[in-house]
Structure 1
Amino acid sequence: MTRTARTARRNEGGFTLMELLVSITLLGLLGVMMVGGLNFGVRVWERTGSEAQDQGRVAAVQALLRRQLAEMQPLEVRGLDRRPRVALDATPRTLTFVGTVPEYLGRGGYHLISLGTETVSGARSLVLRWEPFTRSQPGLTLGDDARREVLLTGIKDLRFQYLGQDQRGQSTGWKATWTDGSRLPDLVEATVVFDDARDERWPRFTAAVMTEAIRR
């Protein structure tokens, strides 16, 4: 048998052991690369979905707050000094007013509503509290049995600003505290800053107090 014939016969017999080892190694590397790419894709998908959910939650909270602030009521109450004043306690970090709440949160009628931050389960949170409004009760302090809804968690800072008109009809400019006891502001701006570890973002938020505009 010639040398050429022997070589051809070996080739017809299949792969050598070395060729099989090389092929298996290449297939293994390809499998590792595919699994790594799949895991990366899953992580990207989960992160994108989480960010979309976070932003969806922020949008829903802003829609709720815009509705609540728009329906703020210019009712008179007795202050702690027993003098009549508009039902509003507006500070840089908290906002308490009289308005209505959605049906799924409570029965009809006016409610005393408060917005601020509280520590809930170890996390600083944006919290909405409310209870039925009693005109005869002095001040605007909610009782211990007031209902509470945690709107957002992981809050680093919350700030309110207010803009309206003074007694002469001139713009007051943005104020950190609303002290005019005879009227409500026209606009309320709320700024929420999340912890650095969170992916959520708070778009600029300004709500118009429609009941005050209608009254004028």
Structure 2
Amino acid sequence: MIRQPTHRMQGFTLVELMIALLLTGMVAMLVFGAFRIATGSWERVVSQQERVHERYLVQTFVRRLLEQAQPLRLRDIDARLSVAMHGDREQLIFVTELPTRNGVAEFYWCQLRVKETETQLKQLIMTTRPYTEGEIIDWLAPFEPTGEGLNGEEIPFTEPEERVLLEGVAELEFEYLYYDQTDQPEWRREWVEESVLPYLIRFQVLPQDEDGLAGEADTAFWPELLVSPTEYRYGGKTLL
């Protein structure tokens, strides 16, 4: 009798199975690590783009505020007559146009400055309140009520509103272009008790460094803005 050959079923040994599982786990860890790195890089890129876009919107908004500065004349509490703008190197107060809830633009007092917070992070702040024709201003406290108006009229007071425009701002730097009697341009660091608006306003924002101090000017953070009030847009001056 001829016997038929028998075939044994070949299988994995326990050692081979453990090696296969180990290799599979290592491959999965490498793939997951690469995925986490790619995801983290993408999130950082998206976050950076969002910050750049936010700064661009703020820059556009601030430019519009300065362009719409109004050449109004008013008296202060010492009866001195001047244009409705008072500024130095670190802050600026002026009257501008802002849209209201009903869609109509109205005149508002506006102040741009840097405010320190309880944390180390500083903020670019805009403070506003409605402008009332005939009011008398205290330039040292422009958002506190004086209650005084021309001819002894009582001016109603509206509580100012404060808005955070941008965080991580260490300092502001304002400069104002003036033309003297000989028509020569001159940059000033103050605009106080003037009869007209400056021809140009130079506005720079300095970011905070790791120690919370003012870092160097960084055009990637905030490019230098040169803004001309609307009334000078076609005035024929040579703007620097």
Give the TM-score band, short-chain normalised.
0.7 to 0.9
Query: 2:199 corresponds to which letter in structure 1?
Result: D
Question: 54-63 or 80-89, which moves further after superposition?
Answer: 80-89
* 1:157–1:106 distance in 2 versus 1, CA, 3 Å: farther
Residue matched to 2:138: 139
Point out the more displaced range, 113-122 or 184-193: 113-122
SS across alignment from 1:101: strand
Structure 1 residues 59-208: aligned runs within 5 Å: 59-104=56-101, 108-120=105-117, 122=119, 123-134=121-132, 135-140=134-139, 141-143=142-144, 145-172=159-186, 174-179=187-192, 181-196=194-209, 201-208=221-228
Q: Which runs of 5 or more residues in structure 2 are unaligned?
A: 146-158, 213-219
Matched, 1:209 2:229: yes
Which contiguous aligned blocks of 4+ residues in structure 1 show a shift greater than 6 angstroms?
A: none
Matched pairs, number? 207
Q: Within 5 Å, which residues of 2 pair with 1:19-98?
A: 19-98=16-95
Cα offsets for 1:46-84 (capped at 9, x unmatched): 111111111111000011111110011111111343121
Q: 1:166 to 1:80 in 2, by over 3 A?
A: farther
Distance 1:161 1:60, change over 3 A: same
Aligned residue type for 2:22: T
Kindly indicate which of the two structures has a greater share of residues assigned to helix.
Answer: 1
Q: Quick check: 2:114–2:170 contact (8 Å CA) kept in 1? A: no
Q: Is the 8 A contact 1:73 1:212 kept in 2?
A: no
Judged with a 3 Å threshold, the aligned counterparts in structure 2 of structure 1 residues 79 and 105 are, in CA distance, closer, same or farther, namely farther
How far apart, CA to CA, are the structure 1 residues paired with 2:44 and 2:55?
A: 17
C-alpha deviations, 1:145-174, integer Å up to 9, x for none?
A: 2111110112222211222322332211x3
Q: Secondary structure at the match of 2:110?
A: strand
SS of 1:14's partner is: coil
Identity over aligned pairs, percent: 28
